[in-house]
Amino acid sequence: MIGASARTLSGMTCLAGVIGWPIAHSRSPKLHGYWLQKYGIDGAYVPLAVRPNDVGQAIAALPKLGFAGINVTVPHKQAVFALVDELDEVARRVGAVNTLVVRSDGGLRATNTDGYGFLKNLKEGAPKWCAADGPAVVLGAGGTARAVVVALLDVGAPSVRLVNRTLPRAVALAQELGGSIEPVAWQERADALDGAGLLVNTTTLGMEGHPPLDLDLSRLSRCAVVNDIVYVPLDTGLIKAARARGNVAVDGIGMLLHQARPGFWAWFGRDPDVDDDLREYVLADLGG
Ligand SMILES: NC(=O)c1ccc[n+]([C@@H]2O[C@H](COP(=O)([O-])OP(=O)(O)OC[C@H]3O[C@@H](n4cnc5c(N)ncnc54)[C@H](OP(=O)(O)O)[C@@H]3O)[C@@H](O)[C@H]2O)c1
């Protein structure tokens, strides 16, 4: 296993990092550091603690400081959306960005890779799942749900039942994204499972330090796939309950790992592997 170790940077070191506030919790430096070391790349990936008021100046300084690009995390994903020179189609539709690349002319190109990571993880954990098999139920209408819903519609889900505690938020998201999205009240969540091919939890429920997800799965087909994007703990109550009744259940750690790949590739020139060693390395850090 590759571990963190002191090393000397050269004058040619390729620079990337992650901006957020706070940033100390971010697993991205460890993840990218693992890949840099594994592939022997002369690169560095640094945590950048940037206050919300300073985001504009920080972003503008990236080309001048020689950064190849950065990841963007909470709470800056929407603010940075409005500050870049070029947005790809996915970022535009999701309305938030998590990956910036500094172009050769110094301009900033941005994308959102959360949906990519979500789908890669889902297909890896449930290879037989096919979006066209049935409606998808998405619990939550927060920041990450936006990327998940866009990804599901793009890959051919016939419809998305968007269940949220604050119903107007689901209604607003459905209107904004367009397509076949049906907002569902939180009290109706168990009924919404009827006939679904996929259930995804994008709420914070079930996460360490948050209340458990209270959801009766009896209406869910045993052929449906269940995915929890919460990864602390890895085996959430939802994952355990789904496995116990025979559903294929996919945990959230692979989404975290896969969403990082496009940035690493763009900055450091290599599409990195997501394998068991990496999974174990990151899980050890999470105490999993
Ligand atoms: N695996 C990965 O790579 C990955 C990536 C990103 C995020 N995540 C995880 O996904 C989760 C959501 O992140 P986010 O950034 O999207 O959060 P967010 O924007 O704050 O959204 C939180 C969602 O949870 C709902 N919620 C919170 N408390 C609730 C409660 N008591 N009852 C019912 N619903 C409740 C909120 O509903 P309201 O609208 O009613 O407030 C909202 O829909 C987190 O656990 C995060 O760690 C995982």
pLDDT tens across 133-169, in order?
999 999 999 989 999 999 999 999 999 999 999 999 9
pLDDT value, residue 9:
86
Please indicate whether residue 3 or residue 80 has the higher confidence score (pLDDT).
Answer: 80
pLDDT at 11 over 60: yes
Alpha carbon dihedral 159, 163, 166, 172, in 10-degree steps, equals -10
pTM for this model (two decimals): 0.95
Q: In whole angstroms, give the CA distance from residue 37 to residue 169.
A: 43
CA-proximal residue: ligand 1, atom 39 (nearest) = 166
Per-residue pLDDT tens digits for 223-267 = 999 999 999 999 999 999 999 999 999 999 999 999 999 999 999
Tell me which of 77, 123, 128, 240 is the catalytic residue: 77
- If one residue of 122, 144, 251 were mutated to test the ligand 1 pocket, choosing by the most ligand atoms within 8 A of its CB, it would be 144
pLDDT value, residue 25:
87
Q: In whole angstroms, give the CA distance from residue 152 to residue 131.
A: 7
Do the beta carbons of residue 19 and residue 56 sit within 8 Å?
A: no
Per-residue pLDDT tens digits for 84-137 = 999 999 999 999 999 999 999 999 999 999 999 999 999 999 999 999 999 999
pLDDT value, residue 287:
66
Nearest-atom index, ligand 1, CA of 203: 24
